[in-house]
Structure 1
Amino acid sequence: MKILLLGALVLLMGTTSFAQNKFTVSGTVKSASKGETIIGATVSAGANHVTRTNEYGFYSLTLPEGTYPLVISSVSFTAYSDSLNLRKNTVVNIDLLDAEQTLEEVVISSTASNRRSLGSPQMGMEKISPQDIKNVPVLLGEKDAIKVLQLLPGIKSAGEGNSGMYVRGGAADQNLILLDEATVYNASHLLGFFSTFNSDAVKDIAVYKAGMPAQYGGRLSSVLDIKMNDGNNQDFNVSGGVGLISAKLNVEGPIQKGKSSFLVSGRRTYADMFLKLSNDSSINTNQLYFYDFNAKMNYQLGEKDRLYISGYLGNDHLGVGDLFGLDWGNTTGTLRWNHIFNNKLFSNTSLIYSNYKYKIGINSGADIFDIFSNIRDYNLKQEFQWYLNNKNSLRFGLNSTYHTIRPGEVTSPDSSSVNDKLMQKRYSLDNAVFATNTWKASDKFSLTYGLRLSAFSILGEGDFYNIDGEGKVLDTVHYKSGEVVKTYLNLEPRLAASYQFNNSSSVKASYVRNTQNLHLIANSTSSTPTDKWVASTNIIKPEISDQFSLGYYKDLRDGLYELNVETYYKTMQNQIDYRDGADVYNGNNAIESELLFGKGRAYGVEWLLRKRTGRLSGWISYTLSKTERQINGINNGDWYNARQDRTHDIAIVAMYQLNKKWTLSANWVYYTGDAVTFPAGKYIIDDQTTYYYTERNGYRMPNYHRLDLGATMQLKQRKRWSSELTFSLYNAYGRENAYTIEFQDSKDDPNKTVANQLAIFKFIPSVSYNFKFK
């Protein structure tokens, strides 16, 4: 704690100023209809005194004594305005009224004012609204936050229909995904075609591609911070929907009106029920479904204290009769306490649990066995937000996570021909302290600077290895339970600055260093639930990235359009790839023997033109980028394309409110084919064809493009009841995009090789019915 306070004081040196006759107005901003706190509401006391509410709706402004026009506003709410006579420290708690969603008001709102975020040093951050998630057409009509994020610049889909994402050249495992502060290690359902996040339970979604604040750490490329709804503490609401493959239900309401509330939300697919309708026993005994369940309660303990309890449970099951079964899923839980010490100091204390696991069952003749793996976290997080004055706001705290990883164990009955095999559990303690100060130096210039100190300790019990350059184990060292094997200390500085030219344009720059000590190991061409998480060891070192970013931001036509242009350059140390012919699933405890290590680089330019209001809204995004690796032992030590490298990535998203009844939507995507390794030749041994490979990721999949269409029809509305029908058509012009390409000998001439392309989605129509009553 002494180190933490010392770091906070160092950050403040030279920036903190004090003046007489200054007072503070503070409070909490909530929704009048639901009682939920509002994240990121704008609070202004004149043009030069502006702040935003934090993640829990709290704000604080320190001003000279005087009278000010107090205005509090947020998207989808009617702005509050009043005169503030500031003669002493004052608490102003505000409940904002919902804006009426009539067509005429939507058109009028097209004269929106310019972005408040133009002057903020934060760059590379995107938010998506529940309305965007609702209207953008996606696969099988399932509203999906991650699929919508993939339509933004710098965020690339990991493949056809896949919920994985690559951000600014990073791999799929280099994204920190948080649900109410709990880490989600696998954010996909049905082998990646859907994400784990039920949009009906989601309150706020923010993704950071650059300039990550110091409270976030542990991943190189991005942070996806998702917060669940708190639950309505004013009235009971029930909503739900039925689609082609899934049904969902959401219930929320007050426990004690105005003081506490609950939220329960569930979703399940029923593709397995259709399989049972078949008369074919090879089909009707199969299973393919997922379910997820979100729950949350919050209690207002007093004027200064609030308690939140939230959790998530999700699971997938894929079964082929009695022969094969695959189960995987996430469980998270968060206990959070908010406390307001005074009008300038806000505290958040969290106890967090996260568990990801998978289990494979095989029952084939004498081969009967199960494979089990999981990663489990216990996490304590303490944060403070200190609103020092009208120029400085400080955020500081600490984070401690205990990881337990079971990389894989095989168990079998006595009758099986397969023997039990237990791979070693790995234990580690991940500690960090951090501090960030945002300094508004002048009306035009703002600066955010911070530091994160991470200490990752590898713990026993277990065997650790020394390996030579060929991957052979030289010797083994055993450590006792709780014994420290090695500790990696890393300083992670953060710096961001903005200069606002006028009320419609600004320029920003940032630098951030991130480290990562948990790594996903897989040598397949796409992510699967059975990919292995491993922690840093004495051989696997922490991955480190340094990213420099520069951006220009412009509001056009009085804020009707937003133009963002950002460029970045990122270097990466200790990147992991696989030896030629590596097998990471062989049950080898010394997995390091299959790996090689080197460096990477990623750079690019991103454009985003967005229209948020009016009958027609949407955006156009374009990313031009390059991602490469250089690792001794691969590609003769030369630079080669990373798996996630794509030169061009384009998305066009449009939503049009035709009238009060109909909303139309469409999106079109195009991107360069993924970098892949194809065979360069073949040879025959004992009448068996064997392919040989030369350059790693030296080829490309065919370029990808697709058009999706959607429409929402509002059905008859009543005072306490509303419903709608949603139609969508995925891949409207039937493009047969390549999912995989396999090589085999020609049946007519075995000396020739043919490439067979598999496309899994062509025209995919869907319809769903959604309802809400209270």
Structure 2
Amino acid sequence: MKPCLMLMTILLLSLNTIAQQKYTISGTIKSKAKGETLIGATVRVSSGGGTTTNEYGFYSLTLPQGRHKLEISSMGLQSNFLELNLRRDTVINLFLDDESVSLSGVTITGNSTRRSLSTPQMGLEKLTTKEMKNVPVLLGEKDAIKVIQLLPGIKSAGDGNAGMFVRGGAADQNLILLDEAPVYNASHLLGFFSTFNSDAIKDIAVYKGGMPAQYGGRLSSVLDIKMNDGNNQDFNVSGGVGLISAKLNVEGPIQKDKSSFLITGRRTYADMFLKLSNDSSLNNNSLYFYDLNAKLNYELGSKDKLYLSGYLGKDNLGVGDLFGLKWGNTTGTLRWNHIFSNKLFSNTSLIYSNYDYTISINSSTTQADIYSKIRDYNLKQEFQWYAGSNHNVRFGLNSIYHTITPGQVTTPETSELNSRTLEDRLSWENAIYASDSWKMSDNLSVTYGLRASAFSILGKGDFYNVDADGNVTDTLHYKSGEFVKTYVNLEPRLALSYKLNTYSSVKGSYVRNTQNLHLISNSTSSSPTDKWVASTNIIKPEISDQFSVGYYRDLWNADYELTVETYYKTMQNQIDYRDGADVNTVSNAIEAQLLFGKGRAYGIEWLFKKRVGRLNGWVSYTLSKTERKIDGINYNKWYNARQDRTHDIAIVAVYQLNKKWTLSANWIYYTGDAVTYPAGKYQIDGQTVYYYRGRNSHRMPNYHRLDLGATKQLKQHKRWSSELAFSLYNAYGRENAYIVQFKDSDDDPNKTVAVQTALFKFIPSISYNFKF
């Protein structure tokens, strides 16, 4: 009897093993028309479950043996349906056709991204080039960063200022990546335009909370921008001509189905109009920028692919021979993708990034050139291991060598100034990380991970000790290659998602971030000449801990979506300036001008979005508070951070009137920036001197603006299309304050008057775009 029972047990176990046998399907998903790999394309299984493609279009899905029905979809492309009888590991490469949109009915799909209810990722905003295309912007330049600032929790730094503020963070607390290369100044013309040409962009993702473990080095957000690969099926040329700029995009195959190239260029020509002026004070001035994107990729075989991409952008502002300001970014990325198996994907990247600026002064008393830069050499190795049907593991390492040139002053012998070169600051930043996305059940998913970072300050050079009053008390000398100090930090990541039903879910996350590169800027505005400094023996790494909770709901057959997220963030080792600090002084001991303390930021964000139909768009609202507490500032009490704004509202609408016309509008309102106004004044030798009390205790006037846009399709054939784009920036002529200055009243010197300066009133534009 016992042998029979043992035999039956073995047979049952064998049958169970056979019944549980699983196999893996894997491959890449591409656009059929262009051959571009698709990021975030979805593979769904009719019986439940699925996966999405990674940044390079690769997917891996483990399923039980047997028959399955799959739906493959991607935003803006036709879905593909596949039936298969899975009996072994299988490689299936898939292609999706362009979506055909008809106006015969009212449903127009593919105009917007859709937020996943089941994935634990929080604080993620995604934009497509289609969404950016119709949003009206300044002078008709389609601008990724300006459109991103219409989303909740992401605030514009204001007219004429570079950068953005994300969940209470400063402008330097955003990691901006272009094909994995850091971009340290993502602005043209003092912040009026961004460095990113929309014609070169494939995908934009903004992480404002719960950043995955593969990202690090900044406290507030990650803006990850991927460039187009280039069409490997056919040659295409597109471009446009506007009031102040022109652009051209050329792409095509080097070897069809195997390799392709992309070249995109853009230049403004406002300086050419200045040269036409009869006013000699204008026609010798410079005012232009240009940028160039280029990319090559080549498939070495079924398991290997090489990418080489680069960016070059320059700005030139000058007032005759008296003053000049030039700045620009250069990046380069060489990447190698390798598929080790149907479950293991590898990406190896060598990355170069450089940002520099030069100030030229040529007056009767002063002649000087001031040069500064920050340059990185970066190695990144990452693996994605699809461990099973319920686990997706990422792990890797990142090593960056930073060189910061704080300033080189070059003068002729006749100048009153002396030439001087500040010491380069060298540092080595390393990190290892691992994370796992685990689907615990049909309703519960979790992503957990850990990032360990080490920042080493290297010689040669002098480092300082500073007393409480900002006086240098000691100078420490280090030889070339010596380690001055190493900061090691652990950065845990945790995110949870629970689906309440088929149309709603709740999520929560916790993330710790550290930052070792800091931007020292003027206290009232941002400019290209702001100084980047690395952590030193005195300047410690900034650390943030952010907790987030959110509710997500699809409404009315998923045609609409509602997102509500709230967050609380604490920050350590925050940097601000001593009262009366001069951060532009040519000195190595910048620490003498700074004070350090803590910060906090909290708020709630709403996003209501309409995805389909002739009318689509979104409404976003952010209610928030951001404060600092630093001994030596504001009587050691909490005070408003410069980027604190109570209310921030954006309404964006796009209406497809007919096949020819698309209308659009956006309206923006936000609370005025926190500033410090004079509390009183006194006279010294006939000169008025203002005194101040309370840091950032006042407000600029509230800001609001309406922008209008319209696009007319001129011709649309298989090989040729063209359009006219019209826009009106600040349609009702609101004179929003750029700066507020104070002076003695002309009628009564004992009285003080405030003088407001505005940059823009009505700014119309027209541009012609084509593609063939």
TM over 0.5: same fold? yes
Q: Using the alignment, how far apart are the partners of 2:63 and 2:768 within structure 1?
A: 51
Counterpart for residue 146 of structure 2: 147
Q: Which amino acid aligns with 1:604?
A: G
Contact 1:110-1:614 within 8 A present in 2 as well: no
Verify: 1:65 aligned to 2:65, yes or no. Answer: yes
Task: Give the secondary structure class of the aligned counterpart of 1:119.
Answer: coil
Using the alignment, how far apart are the partners of 2:363 and 2:446 within structure 1?
Answer: 63
* Letter aligned with residue 445 of structure 1: L
Alignment of 1:362-373 (within 5 A): 362-373=361-372
Cα contact 1:115–1:559 (8 A) shared by 2: no
Cross-structure match for 2:491: 492
Which residue pairs with 2:3 in the alignment?
A: none
Per the alignment, in what secondary structure is the counterpart of residue 620 of structure 2? strand
Structure 1 residues 247-286: aligned runs within 5 Å: 247-286=246-285
Return the alpha-carbon distance in structure 1 between the equivalents of residues 589 and 248 of structure 2.
46
Q: Which position in structure 1 is the counterpart of 2:56?
A: 56
Give matches, 1:187-226, under 5 Å.
187-226=186-225
Counterpart check, 1:84 vs 2:93: no
**Counterpart-to-counterpart distance in 2, 1:579 and 1:696:** 11
- Structure 2 match to 1:432: 431
> In structure 1, what residue type is equivalent to 2:625?
K
Whether the aligned pair in 2 keeps the contact of 1:139 and 1:161 (CA below 8 Å) is no
- Single out whichever of 741-750 and 537-546 deviates more from structure 2: 741-750
Tell me which amino acid in the other structure corresponds to 2:414: S
Deviates more, 1:89-98 or 1:43-52: 43-52
Deviation at 1:20, TM superposition (A): 5.0
SS where residue 156 of structure 1 aligns?
A: strand
In 1, Cα distance between equivalents of 2:115 and 2:62 = 19
Question: CA 1:63 to 1:719, structure 2 compared with 1: closer, same or farther past 3 Å?
Answer: closer
Structure 1 residues 163, 592: CA separation in 2 closer, same or farther (over 3 Å shift)?
closer
In the alignment, does 2:340 pair up with 1:319?
no
For 1:134 and 1:106, locate their aligned partners in 2 and report how far apart those are by CA, in whole Å.
20
Q: Report the Cα offset of residue 132 of structure 1.
A: 1.4
Q: Does the 8 Å contact 1:675/1:698 carry over to 2?
A: yes
Matched letter for residue 78 of structure 1: Q
Local SS of the residue matching 1:146: helix
2-side partners of 1:367 and 1:220: how far apart?
A: 40
1:747 deviation in Å? 1.2
Q: Which residue of 2 aligns with 1:479?
A: 478
1:421-570 aligned within 5 A: 421-570=420-569
Q: Which residue of 2 aligns with 1:677?
A: 676
Equivalent residues of 1:515, 1:545 under 8 A apart: yes
**Distance in 2, Cα, partners of 1:687 & 1:276:** 43
**Contact 2:639–2:697 under 8 Å retained in 1:** yes
Verify: 1:39 aligned to 2:39, yes or no.
Answer: yes
1:272 counterpart SS class: helix
The answer as to whether partners of 1:330 and 1:356 remain within 8 angstroms in 2 is: yes
Note if contact 1:312-1:332 (Cα within 8 Å) is conserved in structure 2: yes
Distance 1:116 1:440, change over 3 A: farther
Residue 739 of structure 1 aligns to a residue whose secondary structure is strand
Distance 2:608 2:642 in 1: 28
Q: Report if aligned partners of 2:611, 2:617 keep a CA contact under 8 Å in 1.
A: yes
Is the 8 Å Cα contact of residues 295 and 309 (structure 2) preserved in structure 1?
yes
Q: Give the Å deviation of 1:568.
A: 0.1
Q: Which residue of structure 1 aligns with residue 10 of structure 2? A: none
Partner of 1:725: 724
Count how many residue pairs are aligned between Structure 1 and Structure 2.
756
Structure 1 segments, 4+ long, off by >3 Å, are 17-20, 108-112
For residue 523 of structure 1, report the CA deviation from its aligned partner. Answer: 2.4
For residues 533 and 235 of structure 1, what CA distance do their matches in structure 2 show? Answer: 43
Deviations for 1:611-644, whole angstroms, at most 9, x for unmatched residues? 1111000000000000000000000000000000
Amino acid paired to 2:68: Y
Which residue of 2 is the match for residue 232 of structure 1? Answer: 231
Task: State the 1:48 CA deviation.
Answer: 2.1
Measure how far apart 1:105 and its partner are.
Answer: 6.8
How far apart, CA to CA, are the structure 2 residues paired with 1:239 and 1:293?
A: 15
Give the match for residue 601 of structure 2.
Answer: 602
Secondary structure of residue in 2 paired with 1:715: strand
Map Cα deviations across residues 341-365 of structure 1 (whole Å, 9 max, x no partner).
0000000000000000000011112
Write the letter of the residue equivalent to 1:101. Answer: V
1:386 counterpart = 2:385: yes
| Deviation of 1:30 (Å) | 0.2
CA deviation after TM superposition for structure 1 residue 160, in Å: 1.9
Residues 572-583 of structure 1 mapped to structure 2, 5 A cutoff: 572-583=571-582
User: Structure 2, unaligned stretches of length 5 or more?
Assistant: 1-16
Percent identity over the alignment? 75
1:120 maps to what in 2? 119
The alpha-carbon deviation at position 719 of structure 1 amounts to 2.4
- CA–CA distance in structure 2, aligned partners of residues 703 and 412 of structure 1: 44
Q: Distance in 2 between matches of 1:36 and 1:750?
A: 67
CA drift of 1:46 comes to: 2.2
| 1:302 aligned partner | 301
**Per-residue CA shift, 1:85-141, capped at 9, x if unaligned?**
1100011100111111332477164999x9571000001000011111110001111
Tell me if the contact between 2:346 and 2:384 (Cα under 8 Å) persists in the aligned partners: yes
Matches of 2:733 and 2:163, distance apart in 1:
23
Distance 1:523 1:468 in 2: 23
Distance (Å, rounded) in 2 between the aligned partners of 1:421 and 1:47: 70
TM-superposed deviation, 1:558: 0.7
Q: 1:724 is paired with a residue of what secondary structure?
A: strand
- TM, length-normalised to structure 1: 0.96
Residues 720-747 of structure 1, C-alpha deviation per residue, up to 9 Å, x if partnerless? 1110000000011111111100001111
Show the counterpart of 1:8: none
- Does the alignment pair 1:739 with 2:765? no
The 8 Å contact of residues 162 and 527 in structure 2, kept in 1 or not, is answered as: no
Distance 2:694 2:334 in 1: 50
Q: Which amino acid aligns with 1:523?
A: N
Equivalent position SS for 2:716? coil
The answer as to whether partners of 1:710 and 1:728 remain within 8 angstroms in 2 is: yes
Q: Distance in 2 between matches of 1:730 and 1:133?
A: 16
Partner of 2:98: 98
